[in-house]
């Protein structure tokens, strides 16, 4: 079963949440099903019906289907493989109609054409190809007027069959439209759920889950040779007094304003998040420790100058660290936390840094007063 799943999904080249995954699944299964069907028809047409020309066409169809399978697994080209598959089916349909005529209800295969076109080519292209193919078949019958048209199947019968196929096409078109709208709606909801799962409910900035995810990506990037990133950890000074004196609703409003102020200062490429309580974490890709220190000081001054009206002045202490090749999330957070501890110990409303496993002060006096 695993080998089958691996084969019909082209080695899981596409993810299950992508539309291409199921299109790949469908293409492979259609081509796989065609091969045993045509083998059976070859045996039937050679040994029972003695229809050698049709048996030859069936043989060509098998070879073409096998070629498409090999091509698809090498190139993973869904669009071109889908088009070739539809061309294969259309050619077979026209050949069977010309050779067999109405005998054995050969025309019934027209009904299979719309779903194959829609499922393989998509709604818009599938509809266009289906309509054009029906026009070609209908015009071909009218122009060439084969001898069996007046005997076994009159023109009115053929028109009825063709219009039935058109009705099937219309129904499938509406079905595909509904499916596409449902897929877009589900995709939109999934994106909204993903955003909510990565967003702090109070401040609207990234939550701890998102911060961990971004940090993992940045650690992977530096191991591939990209420049190092820096992490800033900030904690509001004596924030418990604000909650005690003005209430938690006031404290929440202050957190929202401070989160907005920090976000305005940071770059779009930076990730600003709430680490917990009144703690903030900023991840700065491709940023040196010195650059992060400058940013931290801007944040410190911006928070201190916030017009919080009757709540007075709120300050923030920040710790800064820079990533290293042997880091994991715990080690880099540990250094940022140690740097924050140094800032608190120095009297709060300060910026300090720790850039190595040994706790050390790395503070430029011209930046931090």
Out of 176, 191, 192, 278, the active site residue is 278
Residue 235: strand pairing partners: 279, 317
Place of tokens 């019909």: 8
278 is catalytic: yes
Catalytic residues: 278
């Amino acid at each position: 079963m695993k080998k089958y799943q691996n084969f019909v999904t082209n080695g899981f080249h596409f993810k299950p949440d992508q539309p291409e995954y199921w299109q790949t699944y469908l293409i492979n299964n259609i081509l796989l099903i065609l091969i045993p069907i045509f083998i059976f028809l070859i045996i039937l047409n050679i040994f029972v019906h003695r229809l050698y020309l049709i048996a030859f066409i069936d043989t060509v169809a098998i070879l073409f289907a096998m070629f498409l399978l090999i091509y698809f697994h090498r190139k993973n080209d869904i669009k071109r493989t889908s088009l070739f598959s539809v061309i294969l089916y259309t050619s077979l349909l026209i050949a069977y109609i010309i050779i067999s005529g109405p005998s054995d209800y050969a025309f019934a295969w027209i009904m299979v054409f719309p779903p194959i076109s829609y499922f393989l080519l998509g709604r818009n292209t599938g509809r266009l190809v289906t309509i054009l193919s029906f026009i070609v078949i209908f015009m071909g019958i009218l122009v060439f007027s084969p001898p069996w048209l007046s005997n076994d199947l009159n023109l009115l019968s053929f028109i009825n069959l063709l219009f039935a196929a058109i009705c099937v096409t219309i129904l499938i078109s509406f079905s595909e439209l509904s499916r596409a709208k449902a897929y877009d709606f589900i995709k939109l909801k999934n994106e909204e759920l993903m955003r909510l799962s990565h967003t702090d409910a109070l401040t609207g900035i990234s939550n701890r889950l998102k911060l961990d995810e971004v940090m993992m990506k940045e650690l992977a990037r530096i191991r591939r040779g990209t420049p190092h990133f820096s992490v800033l950890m900030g904690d509001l000074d004596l924030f418990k007094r604000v909650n005690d004196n003005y209430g938690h609703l006031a404290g929440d409003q202050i957190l929202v304003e401070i989160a907005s102020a920090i976000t305005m200062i940071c770059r779009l490429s930076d990730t600003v998040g709430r680490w917990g309580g009144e703690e903030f974490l900023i991840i700065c890709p491709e940023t040196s420790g010195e650059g992060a220190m400058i940013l931290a000081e801007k944040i410190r001054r911006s928070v201190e100058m916030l017009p919080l009206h009757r709540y007075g002045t709120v300050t923030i202490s920040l710790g800064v660290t820079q990533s290293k090749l042997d880091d994991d999330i715990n080690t880099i957070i540990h250094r940022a936390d140690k740097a924050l501890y140094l800032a608190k110990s120095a009297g709060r409303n300060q910026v300090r840094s720790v850039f190595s496993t040994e706790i050390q002060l790395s503070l430029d006096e011209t930046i931090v007063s």
